[in-house]
Amino acid sequence: MIKLYHIQAEGDPFGGSRNGCKAVIALEEMGIDYEVNALDRMADCRPADAAYRQINPNGVTPTIDDNGFILWESGAILQYLADANPSSGLLPTDSKERAKVQQWVAWEGASFAPALLNFFFAMTAPEPDEATVASTKEAFLGTLSILNNQLAGKEYICGDYSIADIASGAITSLSFLLGLDLTPYPNILAWLARLRDKPSWQAAAAVMSDMDAGKEQIG
């Protein structure tokens, strides 16, 4: 059984780890037995001398322990789980199609998530700077445009449902908590509706809470 280190929604000041939710969704999607080792963000992750830092030196989630094999970074975990469970179909076997999925997983980690976090931190600063808020918002909206264009004529990012959808989908709905109107991005809203209806996604409480915040837009 896989042990998942995860910050769950209940009791967390930020509503849980969306990156941790990516692992939850993948494990549920693949029907893999797992147990959650619930962490407290402030007590277990933030202190530099926390015991968890011996498992993941970054002090963030998710981390998995697969019978002694420790792995962190959500993108790496998604790929590992999909590789270990090829029947899930979440990572194509064709080399070119596989590379496309890996490209979008990498894009989420290198471009999409950082843009979202920059905007989030600018918005939630004790004394938000208007210029910083405006510039980080513009940058994040640019990544939303890229995602919306990629979804044109497709149900999922790479055509078929894959770990690319889990990687980006689990954080996209944070947009609603930041007060963003996603109606200019109809492909994203339709995609989020498809993801929300999957049983595996409904097991990720933090993501479902974000989806609920945008239910008027998602429909």
CATH code assigned at 174:
1.20.1050.10
Region at 216 (left for phi over 0; alpha for psi -120 to 50; beta for the rest): alpha
Q: Are residues 108 and 191 in the same domain?
A: yes
Query: According to the model, what pLDDT value does residue 25 have?
Result: 98
- Residue 62's domain is classified under what CATH number? 3.40.30.10
Query: According to the model, what pLDDT value does residue 166 have?
Result: 98
Q: Which of 72, 88, 104 represents a domain boundary (last residue)?
A: 88
Query: According to the model, what pLDDT value does residue 114 have?
Result: 97
Q: Are residues 23 and 79 in the same domain?
A: yes
Query: According to the model, what pLDDT value does residue 211 have?
Result: 96
Query: According to the model, what pLDDT value does residue 50 have?
Result: 96
Which of these, 59, 62, 85, lies nearest to 74 by C-alpha position? 62
Q: Are residues 142 and 212 in the same domain?
A: yes
Strand-strand pairing, 69-72 and 63-66:
antiparallel
Name 119's Cβ contacts closer than 8 Å, sequence gap at least 6. Answer: 133, 136, 137, 139, 140, 178
Contact 206, 9 (CB under 8 A): yes
Count of the separate structural domains present in the chain: 2
Query: According to the model, what pLDDT value does residue 70 have?
Result: 98
Q: Which of 66, 88, 110 represents a domain boundary (last residue)?
A: 88
Query: According to the model, what pLDDT value does residue 88 have?
Result: 95
Contact 170, 19 (CB under 8 A): yes
Query: According to the model, what pLDDT value does residue 79 have?
Result: 98
Cα 12 to Cα 41: distance, rounded to the nearest angstrom: 7
Q: Are residues 135 and 29 in the same domain?
A: no
Average pLDDT, the chain: 96
What is the identity of the amino acid at 87? S
Provide the residue range defining the domain that includes 125: 95-218
Q: Are residues 58 and 103 in the same domain?
A: no
Query: According to the model, what pLDDT value does residue 179 have?
Result: 92
Q: Which of 19, 53, 88 represents a domain boundary (last residue)?
A: 88
Low-confidence ranges of the chain (pLDDT < 50): none
Query: According to the model, what pLDDT value does residue 138 have?
Result: 97
Q: Are residues 80 and 133 in the same domain?
A: no
Q: Are residues 35 and 71 in the same domain?
A: yes
Cα 17 to Cα 98: distance, rounded to the nearest angstrom: 27
List, for residues 178-187, the tens digit of each pLDDT value: 999 999 999 9
Q: Are residues 209 and 109 in the same domain?
A: yes
Buried residues in 41-79 as b, exposed as e (16+ CB within 10 A):
beebbeeeebebeeebeebbbbbbbbeeeebbbbbebbb
Query: According to the model, what pLDDT value does residue 38 have?
Result: 96
Q: Are residues 212 and 162 in the same domain?
A: yes
Cα 8 to chain centroid distance, Å, stands at 14
Q: What are the strands, taking DSSP E only, across the chain?
A: 2-6, 34-38, 63-66, 69-72
Query: According to the model, what pLDDT value does residue 122 have?
Result: 95
Q: Are residues 51 and 107 in the same domain?
A: no
